[in-house]
Structure 1
Amino acid sequence: MLEQQPNNDDEIQSVESVLDALRDYGRPPENGEIQPSSSAPSVEEEMVSYGNKTLEEDAAKQEHARNQKWKNHFNTAFIIAFWFLWFCFILMVFALIFHWVMPDTWHWLKPEQLDKIKTVIMAALVSKAITNHQEKLSKFN
């Protein structure tokens, strides 16, 4: 199946016809009834102005796309890190509870490891409690 390629000659002719129409804009008709406006910008000025606006708009769109892409990547990384840390926290809680509930012969954690797990769990819980308390206090002020 052959795809039709755009004809560059047609595009060039189309652009040239548009430019010719723009050049003729502001010229008086043959009978001389309408005088050209002295305040009307030249075609070249119009093209430069249009080009500048187009470039500025394109630059703004690309900058927005880059910023949005960075925000999306950061958001994804944050979500992955959050769920990974949440999984680790839940795993530590279950390991600690399982260690407490099971008979001594089933214990696999050393006392130092238990202390580290308790410290991490307590730090997380205390941090959450303080954050909740601060939020309640800030609502009253």
Structure 2
Amino acid sequence: MNRIDECATDPALPYNVFAKACPSRGTLEHITGRWGALVLGALFEGSLRFNELRRRVDGVSEKMLSQTLHALERDGLVDREAQPTNPPRVDYELTPLGREVATRLLALIHFLEGSMDDVLDARRRYDDARGGR
């Protein structure tokens, strides 16, 4: 088992995302950051080429998408497959671990989308109580 002693507060749970030095924190940041969550969600339906993924994840820059894909690939959540064609073709798809993570993320995303009326009402009440900020 790969374990960093700074993470282990409980022998039954060798990683603790709340510990600053634990590598699980970095992976959580890659998954839950704005672009990581959207990329994982976009890849859930199947493999995409870089530009297809960029169009699907509206607003992401080429640089941020590239950095996000590298981080997710390094964490074992995304596979990158380069085809020896001219021009080169690169496809990205979820690994089994990435698929499991995306399934859980999509449940949260769908819950939030379905709850947005409540969220927007709460925002209005909050702003009204504070003078219309």
Of structures 1 and 2, the one scoring higher in RCO (CA 8 A, sep 6+) is: 2
TM normalised by structure 1 equals 0.26
Larger radius of gyration: 1
